Amino acid sequence: MNRTLSSLRAFFTAPGMAGAVAAGLAFFAVVQGAVSGPRWLLLTGLPASALALAVFGKLGEPSRSYALRGPRGGGPRAFAPAVVHGVRAVHKETGRPVADGSALATVFEFDLTVVPEDGLPAYRVLVRHPLDVQGLLHRSSGVVEYDPRQPWRVAVPADPPREWPARAIGVTAPAEVTTYTSGPPAGLRTFVASLVCAAMLLVLVRLVS
């Protein structure tokens, strides 16, 4: 319930609503201009719709559209070596890259392949932390902490048990790994809302014409 309310609050913001209305108007213009005219609606709506779709596509890129939750408080924990594919500074709210990792409202995003030693298959995740813990910005491997029952819950501990950093040295990612995500791609709700907006406008035009 709390997760649903949080998602609704995230959507019903000025940028989200403005994006849905703007894209909805563009889609409406294309359909209305193609079916009934006037022609200028079609000519205006086509480039606007192309721009909207490009933005939604960029937001929905799976490689950078998710960051997973950490292990539950009081839940089971396990450590595992991880391969570091990359580290970058991002805005903690939008997830967009930033040039200065020391700026306010930024976090480090670690692109990792977790290689569990308890029989679970290796999997790739993005994990965020306010600091460059374990110096992963300049390393090719590190140690993560995860929930064995919900492996997508991953955190990068600042001070893992002493034996684990040594076990992580030289770890390699297998050829096939699983990718965990934590929900629909970014921008999907706005895209769906824009289609609903366009459909409502089309129905309204038919009713009044």
What is the spatial distance between Cα 125 and Cα 144, in angstroms, rounded to a whole number? Answer: 11
- Say how far apart CA 37 and CA 32 lie, in whole Å: 6
H or E, element range at 206: helix 188-208
Residue 114: in which H helix or E strand, if any?
strand 106-114
By the 8 A CB rule, do 69 and 134 touch?
no
**What is the pLDDT, as a whole number, of residue 33?**
87
pLDDT tens digit sequence for 85-143 = 999 988 877 778 887 766 778 889 999 999 998 888 999 988 998 889 999 999 999 99
Q: What is the DSSP string of 146-173?
A: E-SSSTT-EE--SS--THHHHHHTT---
pLDDT recorded at residue 139: 92
pLDDT computed for residue 134 by the predictor = 94
* pLDDT of the residue at 166: 92
> Residue 82 in 3-state DSSP?
strand
- The reply to whether the predicted model has a pTM over 0.85 is no
Name residues of the chain where pLDDT drops below 70: 1-16, 58-69, 101-102, 180-186
Q: What is the Cα–Cα distance from 193 to 53, expressed in whole angstroms?
A: 13
pLDDT at 62: 46
